[in-house]
Each structure stands twice: as structure tokens, then as C-alpha cells.
Amino acid sequence: MSTINSIIPEIHQPKNGLLPISVFERNKFNDPNALNKIPQKLDRIINSTVNCLVRYFLKRDAESAFESCFLGASFIREEHKAQILAKKVTGLDDTSIIACVHLANYEECLKSVSEYKVIDEKEITLEVIKNIKILFHRIMTFMSRYGSKIIYNHTLEGGYSDAIDTGVVPFVTNESILMLSYNEVEPTPEETLEILIYYVMCKHSIYPTLKEIKYVSFFNPITNTFYKCNVPLISETAITLIEEKVLKYNENHYNVENGKTVEDYLSIKDAIEYLGIDEAKFDKIVKSKQLIIDKEENKVSVKNLNEYLQNKRMTNKLVWILSLTSILAIVILVVILLTVK
């Protein structure tokens, strides 16, 4: 499997990056709570813990919020221990935070099992817990200002390629990609490159909401600063370079729009997102037998989805033609009646 993070070190960029941070608008927020000075070795685990808590509070679903933690724990056969820790995370109290720190630490196994080290309970000091709470509150306060529903870990079917065949968008709204940055200054060229690649993959994905992204953004809870870049400011040259040299899209790239299938089947959740409808509407379409769910896989075939969309477009076109014909007939009739009078 190839991820964005695994190939970024191999990509050569100009000094300020393919997407310079200078093109981003900045908005710094005030917060009377100051962060404590914490040993640098704990920075990564604190950031991971905050990310886990944010995911958990956005959806209150431990399975999805701690998915990467559970996967890391499985590498050292501690899945059961991780599940016990997850049950202790119920809020923002100290017990929940300490359990979440241990959970987040399992993510280190995804990078290197040999370098994984158990966190000493004594290292989770009151200062560490306070920092986690401050960072968490800054992120949630910022997200409440966003005003849009925020989805995390959105997949990118249609945007994957042989170069990058796995990975998810950290956070996405109906018009923006959002990444969290924990640098003490501004996002690095590596981070802006990462969000640029996400943007290009979104453009090629099968999901209408991802295709309509209007801007890419960062929120840095360390500096409490929001960075936003309107997509027209992204260099077309940079986009083309990502498409051709990094993602290596070509005639073999699978894409629903060019008549090829991303894969044989999509999950029901992804099919609903692809069609841009809600579950109730999807159920009605299935009951009408316009869409057929594979009962064994509990999925929908991409071919069936495309046939449904094609039929829907033809039906809409026919309705439009009939409506126009009816209007013209009425107009002609009115003209004839007026002429007779």
C-alpha cells in the first residue's frame, strides 16, 4: 500500500513549496489559556491524542475514532487491551484523557513496531493533560465557527492510483478540505504539499461533494491560527505536476466519469454519497428495483449505479422535452384563440 505520507519525502519542491503558505489567508484567534512547556518527545503523542479526542467527540463512535489505534495495537497483539482503554474514554475528564493517551500511542506501531514504547504513567502529568484540553477546546471552538457539517476520514474512490492507493481526507466540509497542523510556526511545505495532493485526488474522486471543494485550509491549535487558500490561487502547473508526476494519472487510471469503474462494488454508504442522496431516498430506489444490492457483499455494483444515473438523466431529459412541448402547445393555442377573436 502506498500513502501520501510515504511518497512526500521523494517529491522535489521549490524552496517555498508547490503550494506556498504565502497564498493562504490568516486569521488568528484569541485564547486566554496558555499552553505549558512540555518535553519535545511528548509532542507527537499529545497531538495524536488530541486528534483521537476530536474524532471521538465529532461522532461519538469509538470504532471509527480509534480505528488507527486498534490497528496499531493489533501489530503487537494488544487489541483487547486497546478495546478496554477505548471504553474508558467517555468525556474530557482526566481518566478519559489518560486512556486516550495510551490508545493514541498505539499509532506509533503503524510507523515502526520496533520503536514503539509504552508510555510511563508518570509522564502523563497535569501539565500534559492541561495542554491536551486546551488544544482540544481550541479545535472544537474553531470547528463550531465553521458552520458546516465536518466529516473526518473521507475516502477517495476515483482519486486513487497506482502511486497512491490508500488514504483518507482528514476533515472535509461541503466546500473545504481541512487539516490540523501542530507546528509552532506556520504549516510546512510538506504539509501544504499533502493538502495539495488531497485536493487533486478530490477532484478526481467519484464524490460530488469532494469535486466541489472551494478552498483548502489548515487550523493550527498551537498558534490558534486558521489558514485558508481559495482553490483558484492554486497554480495549474502545480496541479498538473501532481496529476502527472506524483499520482501518475493516465489512460489506465480508473474513473467512473470516463466510463471505467473504480472497482466492481461500492459500499452502501459510499453509494449513497456517490449519488448525493440520503438513506431514505436510497431505500426507495432499492425498493423500486432501480438499484440492486448484492446481498452477499452488502454492496452495490458500480455498473448498476451508472445504469441508474444514465436512466435518470434520460428520464429527466424526456420530462423536460415533454414539458417544453406542452408549454409550446399552450402558447400556440392561445395565439390561435386570440387570432380567431
Residue 147's pLDDT is 65
Residue 59's pLDDT is 79
For strands 299-301 and 293-294, give the pairing.
antiparallel
**In this predicted model, what pLDDT tens digit does every residue of 130-152 receive, in sequence order?**
999 999 999 999 988 876 778 88
Q: Which residues pair with 300 in a beta bridge?
A: 266, 293
**In this predicted model, what pLDDT tens digit does every residue of 86-109 receive, in sequence order?**
999 998 999 999 999 999 999 888
Q: How sure is the predictor about 293, in pLDDT bands with cuts at 50, 70 and 90?
A: confident
**In this predicted model, what pLDDT tens digit does every residue of 50-87 receive, in sequence order?**
999 999 998 777 888 888 899 889 989 999 999 999 99
Rg (CA), the chain: 25
Question: Residues near 37 by Cβ (< 8 Å), separated by ≥ 6?
Answer: 127
Q: Is the pLDDT of residue 259 over 50?
A: no
Placement of cell 461541503 in the chain: 174
**In this predicted model, what pLDDT tens digit does every residue of 159-187 receive, in sequence order?**
888 888 888 888 998 789 999 999 888 99
Q: Is the pLDDT of residue 251 over 60?
A: no
Determine if the pTM surpasses 0.85: no
